[in-house]
Structure 1
């Protein structure tokens, strides 16, 4: 995503900083052709944040989507990459948070981080 929209997509969130864990900010999608907005959610580090912070990041992302009238949103697996939050736990938190959220968004696509299974 950053390769297609960079460098503006990399620079834009810096103007919105600081964005604390559990919150989300939004920028234009710049050169991404099938996306209008990018929501930048800040999830927890597994050792310092928990379920409530991750759920808040999911709900804050939906709130930003509602602000621009988005009808569909794709969610990456928040905090499971560089932050190392366990993917199975993050999946459960996100599904629960998103199902319980009040939103006008009609379609939510969850993109999970999948680890290669040992042979």
Structure 2
């Protein structure tokens, strides 16, 4: 309880210092923009790379999957599923990285481990 009170006091102090908050936000955005997270599915048949800003940067498909897509409707459907799974895995990793980055920044600013960072991470997406 005492830690929460201290954190709220520190947060109130930071609200008065908008520059410190802006700098923290800039650091978080820069780190997340440089972050790359990879998701795979189908044993590597589909691979997606997303940025920490939650943008899909790359999608790679194994040659065997691409060849099968040209010949078979079922393989095309499977490819769509594998791509979605790979992208979703990469996005989950990027979201977790954002949570970790927010926690680390809060600690470095003297705010401790604040609750509600999951909601803040969702808001910043």
Please give the range of the TM-score, normalised by the shorter of the 2 chains: under 0.3
TM-score (norm 2): 0.27
Larger radius of gyration: 2
Q: Which has the higher contact order (CA 8 A, sep 6+)?
A: 2
TM-score (norm 1): 0.28
